[in-house]
Amino acid sequence: MTTDSPNSEGFFGEFGGQYLPEELKQIMNDIYRAYLDIRDTEAFTTELHELQNHYVGRPSPVYFCRRLSQHLGGAEIYLKREDLNHTGAHKINHCLGEALLARHMGKTKVLAETGAGQHGVALAAACALVGIPCEIHMGEIDVAKQAPNVLRMKLMGATVIPVSRGTRTLKDAVDSAFEEYLRDPQNFFYAIGSVVGPHPFPQMVRDFQKIVGIEARKQFQEMTGALPDQLVACVGGGSNAIGLFTAFLDDQDVAIVGVEPSGLGLDTPDHAATLTLGSPGVLHGMRCYVLQDEQGEPLPVYSIASGLDYPGVGPQHSYLKEIGRVRYETATDQDCLDAFQMLSRYEGIIPALESSHALAYAIRVAPQMAGKRILINLSGRGDKDIDFVAEKLKL
């Protein structure tokens, strides 16, 4: 159950499903059928595999952090280098899969929202490559804050729609993109950016991401002759985490930890620790852990890493928490900034602020884990974050 598909209604245990109007359920089921039709065909697997190798640059290396490990004086720290992928993060793995599926289904436009622009850039690249029109909805405030990513999307041929309603940020961009999608869901494809949303997206996005763990398991064994003692990954919606975890879920001796952002502290409203402090509810077409108020409305969330501030989380993570296979921990903004600097100084690798949450947890526990090996998913590179960090640290 942990590594397999969800049940026929799209549930992992009590989580997942399709909390949607009947018409949209039909469309989701069409997408699932199309996915099952092509996923094991020679043509699809060959094309995806070639693009993964020659376009994304897979396999990404597993790297042993010698200096950082020495400095911490306990466990050996290893990184799965998803930061080295084309476009700088793990997101290209599922965007490519989604773009290929949309083209296979004859869709005329791929749509999505983006916050900081990372999902938008990865999707724009995948759509340029596959040759399908791409439309990205983005809050006006984010458009102003993330000018380089807006330029990247435009250069790669995507249409960027600035959203001027409400808070003019991610939440309104989601509503705007979804409204556009509802104008013609037969012909449009809504490319969800993580292992969230209605079935089949949590399963499909996971399947496109599980290459991360399949590679890492083999690479790690070749390097060390053993499996890691512990895996660590940051969790926003949960795609990079489930991507690393899936290949190891049946390895009972491998401890698995997902790290959520506790922001300014779990005792403040400024965090996005959904699995740590949330409760089961319904959000964006799925049942999952949600940070919600008494009425079931999602609470405002916050993280220093914009890729992690989501009030829900993937249904499979909700299930893995429930059955105790994965432990979910937290790291604060300050932990994250410290880890960001430590990896930069000791290894010459600037991590994304999102990934720095996973690093922060490993840095915390490594000194007490002498003789053990920790494998961290370095989900993205930090180039996008350096201006912000320089300001924070007064560099």
Ligand X SMILES: *Cc1c(COP(=O)(O)O)cnc(C)c1O
Catalogue the active-site residues.
65, 90
Nearer to ligand X, 10 or 115 (CB): 115
d(CA 355, CA 259): 9
Q: Are residues 153 and 117 in contact, defined by beta-carbon separation less than 8 angstroms?
A: yes
**Whole-number minimum distance, CB 351 to ligand X, in Å?**
8
Please state, as a whole number, how many other Cβ atoms lie within 10 Å of the Cβ of residue 109: 18
Q: Which stretch binds ligand X (CB under 6 A): 13-21, 171-179, 228-236, 247-255?
A: 228-236
332 binds ligand X (CB under 6 A): no
**Whole-number minimum distance, CB 248 to ligand X, in Å?**
16
Residues 46-85 as x/- pattern, contact with ligand X by CB under 6 A: ----------------------------------------
315 binds ligand X (CB under 6 A): no
Nearer to ligand X, 204 or 369 (CB): 204
d(CA 207, CA 112): 20
Among 204, 380, 385, 389, binds ligand X (CB under 6 A): 380
Nearer to ligand X, 352 or 369 (CB): 352
Among 17, 236, 263, 315, binds ligand X (CB under 6 A): 236
Size of the site for ligand X (CB under 6 A): 19
> What DSSP string runs through 295-364?
TSPBPP---SSGGG--S---HHHHHHHHTTSSEEEEEEHHHHHHHHHHHHHHHS--B-HHHHHHHHHHHH
Alpha carbon distances (Å) from 309 to 2, 92, 326, 388:
25, 20, 20, 17
Nearer to ligand X, 17 or 382 (CB): 382
Q: Look up residue 220 and give its DSSP letter.
A: H
329 binds ligand X (CB under 6 A): no
174 binds ligand X (CB under 6 A): no
Q: Are residues 239 and 53 in contact, defined by beta-carbon separation less than 8 angstroms?
A: no
DSSP run (H or E) holding 181? helix 170-183
Beta bridge partners of 16: 11, 287
> What DSSP string runs through 189-209?
EE--SSS-SSTTHHHHHHHHH
Among 91, 107, 206, 210, binds ligand X (CB under 6 A): 91
Among 13, 379, 385, 389, binds ligand X (CB under 6 A): 379
Q: Which residue has the tokens 């309104």?
A: 172
Nearer to ligand X, 195 or 369 (CB): 195
Residues 96-135 as x/- pattern, contact with ligand X by CB under 6 A: ----------------------x-----------------
Token pair for residue 208? 């496109």
Q: Which stretch binds ligand X (CB under 6 A): 39-47, 60-68, 235-243, 282-290?
A: 235-243
Token pair for residue 336? 């994250």
Q: Look up residue 74 and give its DSSP letter.
A: S
Binding residues among 253-312 for ligand X as defined by CB under 6 A = 307-308
d(CA 192, CA 98): 9
Q: Which stretch binds ligand X (CB under 6 A): 9-17, 182-190, 352-360, 363-371?
A: 352-360
**Whole-number minimum distance, CB 83 to ligand X, in Å?**
7
Contacts by residues 64-69 (CB-CB < 8 Å, ≥ 24 positions apart): 64/223, 65/343, 65/346, 65/347, 67/346, 67/347, 68/342, 68/343, 68/346, 68/347, 69/366
355 binds ligand X (CB under 6 A): yes
Residue nearest to ligand X (CB): 380
- Point out which residues bind ligand X (CB under 6 A): 89, 91, 118, 194, 234-241, 307-308, 352, 354-355, 379-380
